Amino acid sequence: MSPDPSAAPPPAAPLWSRPEESYSDEELARGLVAGDEACLAAAYHRWSGLVHTLARRSLGDAREAEDVTQQVFLGVWRGRRGYRPERGTLAGWIVGIAKRKIADALAARTRRTDLVSSVGSVLALAAPAQQRPEAVLDRVLVHHELARLPAPQQRVLRLTFYEDLTQAQIAERTGLPLGTVKSHARRGLHRLRDCLGQERCA
């Protein structure tokens, strides 16, 4: 029996039942704005490699690049209603988000470096090479205040300053997510700096 030419065509397959690579950019854009998680997955599949490459090239660290890539697509999902196709392609919009997240990561790295330098100058007093009498008290204060930190912060800072590990290496050794390591280091350094500053003022 031949098909009826007047019959309506079969409905298109729903987006979530199709291979990710079969979506057009226009379909992905519409689906994202509508809150279709399948379109987010397809966008991630299509452009996460590009985002990761841009992040790694700028940051020089694969783990940080992975973290930024996740932040980018979280930003894509949260900001999906702000996408305007008349202003540019979906790929260009995602790259724009990536550039902002990379800039944020570089700025955060600079802040961490400045903070580590300021606290590190105090921690350096704990080195045995310091022979002056004041150095003995400095070492006692440093070890005392470090021991008062919450255990996760204390562990991260000890690995940072006494074993000279990077945050990515600390994450690998401890099994903690890189973002958690960064958070422990930032909070621990702020608290340690404040406590040591109060001791010196006293």
- pLDDT at position 101 is 93
Q: Which CATH architecture has domain 16-108?
A: Orthogonal Bundle (1.10)
- pLDDT at position 6 is 47
- Domain residue spans of the chain: 16-108, 127-201
Q: How far is CA 165 from CA 62, 162, 170, 181, in A?
A: 16, 8, 6, 12
Integer Cα distance of 38 and 112 in angstroms: 37
Q: Which residues of the chain have pLDDT under 70?
A: 1-22, 112-144, 195-202
Cβ neighbour number for residue 42 with a 10 Å cutoff: 23
pLDDT 10s digits, 151-176: 888 888 888 777 777 888 888 888 88
Q: Give the residue among 118, 122, 121, 187 at the shortest CA–CA distance from 152.
A: 187
- pLDDT at position 112 is 67
In CATH, the number for domain 127-201 is 1.10.10.10
Phi and psi of 194, rounded to 5°? -65, -45
* Cβ-based neighbours of 198, under 8 Å, separated by 6 or more: none
